[in-house]
């Protein structure tokens, strides 16, 4: 797929470009290698930024017309702010550029900022490199509208154009906003308004060498974008600056881009929604310290750098490949690691040994133990939401799956099994046992399966029993997969007696003695009360004394030890 897209992209195929942008901005598996193979391209990146209402979109529309007249191919990226609450974005800036919708020399794409603090899309660097590879001459990026510190565009664009209006405020406010540092060109738009000349004069007075990092004077141009006044001069200045970029600035831009990419890679495993859930839990307990919380999250990230660890015991590389591909197609890519126990040549691992290996070695916050004949249907974002909601409902859950039982003949399922889709309502449902086709274990629960059991069955029941002993809960969740087989029931029956014997011994009545107490432990609350009653222990104590004196012993057993003072 990626090779085909690369060839189409370099031929200028707009559909291939649009699809490539969608795949890259969503972090589809293989996008990093795809970007490495693309040609560098020579397009100039023009950043258009400024406060809301300055007329950026209208200015971009006029600038497109001026550059297209010279026979240039233009790509425009319009970044709109995302809501911090529902994460949606209007993506309405391109409405002002409707004249260019069908022009073959112009490509316009709207992007949401997705919570990025710098007024840009998190994958903006990668997207610009796609546009460069597609053969565009100029790439115009319009930001969401800067505030006091949103100046990331300076680390991306070859030429940064800051758009202001005469009402933008006095020179002190302008200096505070950081614009003096990022602007390569100042544009005072709507310059037909009163006091425009006075504002331009004050702005030029501030552009002294002591206030700027630029070697030469920063141009201040007046425009009226709605009337296309001053646009030819702006286009000429942009092209002039693009052709005179020095090596130092190029190194600065490349270093900024590398830093942002590395920062995003390091942060990709931190989920803001999960942080919110953890903070809600801490606030509910009545004690929350921001710095202690951040330090704890940082420590967890070092220990569990992935969100999901997908683990399987495999007997066929082809079947495992199909299983893995189905998960990757559902988004289990960047935040995930894949681990397998290889039984393709012979049974090197039984299930219990392999699962304890997975639980010990996995670096994900959630460990998915899945059969190789399972195919994923639901996507990663759905599973993330289910687990986040489950954690809010019951912070003591340890294991969940898509099929299990509440009690005798009371099963709950959410699965396509043997071609039949079975779903139950009111999920998640708390259960006492789970099916083994898909298990999701919470890393922080620190549970394992029994070390004294062998075989390939009943490990889910074992895991649920151990979780119950440790005070954790197990659930069936509404996460859909397709299980291609019904399992080997004959092999299951063969291993059942061993499982029953083991738990028969584990659940037997036993006498417990510590240095400070003695008691009888039973699986019956009535027996526990009776066997630990005062009368029962008095009788046992009397019988124990009689037995002690009746039993023949060697004289050395009665010899007293004399302590030396």
With helix as H, strand as E and coil as C, how does 322-355 read?
Answer: HHHHHHHHCCCCCCEEEEEEECCCCCCCCHHHHH
Higher pLDDT: 48 or 303? It is 48
- Report the C-alpha gap between 422 and 415 in whole angstroms: 5
Nearest in space to 326 (alpha carbons), one of 369, 375, 260: 375
pLDDT per residue as tens digits for the range 149-164: 345 666 678 888 888 8
Alpha carbon separation from 158 to 66, 161, 222, 256 (Å, rounded)? 19, 10, 21, 12
Alpha carbon separation from 459 to 376, 441, 462, 465 (Å, rounded)? 21, 13, 5, 10
Judging by DSSP bridges, how do beta strands 74-80 and 138-142 pair with one another? parallel
Higher pLDDT: 337 or 214? It is 337
- Report the C-alpha gap between 540 and 307 in whole angstroms: 55
Classify residue 543 by its DSSP letter: H
Report for 378-392, 499-513, 532-546: range of highest mean pLDDT: 378-392
Report pLDDT for 557. 44
The predicted model gives 542-557 an average pLDDT of 58
How many helices, marked H, and strands, marked E, lie in the chain? 19, 22
pLDDT per residue as tens digits for the range 107-147: 888 887 665 555 567 788 888 888 888 888 999 988 766 54
Average pLDDT, the chain: 79
Report pLDDT for 34. 84
Complete domains list, the chain, with CATH: 1-38 (no CATH), 39-244 (3.40.50.300), 304-506 (3.90.550.10), 510-557 (no CATH)
Residues 23, 25, 30: CA angle, nearest 5 degrees: 50
Report pLDDT for 89. 46
pLDDT per residue as tens digits for the range 193-209: 888 888 888 877 777 65
pLDDT over 50 at 459, yes or no: yes
Report pLDDT for 49. 83
- Global model pTM greater than 0.75: no
Classify residue 371 by its DSSP letter: -
Confidence band, pLDDT 50/70/90 cuts, at residue 548: low
Return the percentage of the chain with pLDDT > 70, whole number: 75
The answer to whether residues 521 and 505 touch, using CB atoms and an 8 Å cutoff, is no
């Amino acid at each position: 797929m990626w090779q085909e897209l690369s060839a189409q992209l370099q031929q200028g195929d707009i559909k291939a470009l649009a699809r490539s942008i969608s795949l890259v901005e969503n972090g589809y598996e293989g996008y990093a290698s795809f970007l490495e193979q693309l040609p560098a391209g020579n397009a100039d990146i023009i950043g258009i930024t400024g406060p809301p209402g300055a007329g950026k979109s209208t200015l971009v529309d006029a600038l497109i017309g001026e550059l297209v007249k010279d026979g240039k191919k233009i790509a425009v990226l319009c970044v709109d702010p995302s809501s911090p609450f529902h994460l949606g974005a209007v993506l309405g800036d391109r409405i002002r550029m409707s004249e260019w919708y069908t022009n073959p020399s112009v490509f316009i794409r709207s992007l949401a900022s997705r919570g990025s603090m710098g007024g840009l899309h998190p994958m903006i660097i990668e997207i610009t490199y796609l546009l460069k590879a597609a053969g565009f001459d100029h790439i115009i990026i319009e930001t969401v509208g800067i505030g006091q510190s949103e100046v990331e565009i300076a680390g991306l664009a070859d030429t940064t154009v800051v758009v202001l209006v005469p009402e933008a405020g006095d020179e002190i406010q302008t200096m505070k906003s950081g614009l003096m540092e990022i602007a390569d060109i100042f544009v005072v738009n709507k310059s037909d308004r009163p006091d425009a000349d006075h504002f331009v004069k004050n702005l030029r007075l501030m552009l002294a060498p002591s206030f700027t990092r630029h070697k030469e004077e920063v141009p201040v141009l007046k425009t009226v974008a709605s009337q296309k006044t001053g646009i030819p001069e702006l286009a000429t200045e942009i092209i002039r600056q693009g052709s005179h970029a020095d090596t130092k600035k190029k190194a600065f831009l490349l270093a900024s881009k590398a830093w942002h990419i590395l920062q995003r890679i390091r942060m990709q495993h931190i989920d803001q929604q999960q942080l919110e859930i953890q903070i809600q839990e801490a606030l509910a307990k009545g004690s929350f310290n921001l710095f202690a919380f951040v330090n704890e999250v940082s420590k967890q990230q070092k220990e569990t750098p992935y969100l999901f660890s997908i683990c399987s015991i495999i007997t066929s590389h082809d079947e495992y490949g199909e299983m893995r591909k189905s998960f990757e197609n559902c988004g289990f890519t960047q935040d995930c690691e894949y681990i397998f126990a290889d039984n393709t040549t012979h049974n090197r691992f039984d299930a219990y040994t392999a699962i304890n290996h997975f639980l010990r070695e996995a670096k994900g916050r959630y460990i998915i133990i899945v059969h190789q004949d399972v195919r994923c249907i639901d996507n990663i974002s759905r599973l993330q939401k289910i687990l986040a909601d489950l954690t809010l409902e019951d912070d003591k859950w340890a294991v969940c799956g898509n099929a299990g039982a509440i009690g005798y003949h009371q099963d709950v399922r959410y699965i396509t099994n043997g071609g039949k889709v079975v779903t139950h309502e009111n999920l998640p449902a708390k259960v006492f046992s789970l099916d083994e086709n898909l298990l999701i274990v919470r890393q922080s629960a620190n549970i394992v399966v029994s070390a004294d059991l062998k075989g390939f069955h009943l490990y889910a029941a074992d895991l649920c029993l151990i979780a119950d002993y440790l005070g954790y809960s197990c659930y069936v969740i509404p996460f859909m997969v397709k299980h291609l087989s019904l399992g080997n029931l004959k092999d299951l029956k063969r291993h059942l007696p061993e499982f029953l014997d083991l738990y028969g011994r584990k659940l037997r009545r036993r006498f417990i003695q510590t240095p400070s107490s003695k008691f009888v432990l039973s699986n019956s609350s009535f027996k526990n009360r009776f066997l630990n009653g005062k009368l029962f222990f008095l009788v046992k104590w009397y019988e124990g004394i009689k037995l002690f004196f009746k039993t023949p012993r060697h004289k050395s057993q009665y010899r007293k030890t004399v302590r030396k003072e």
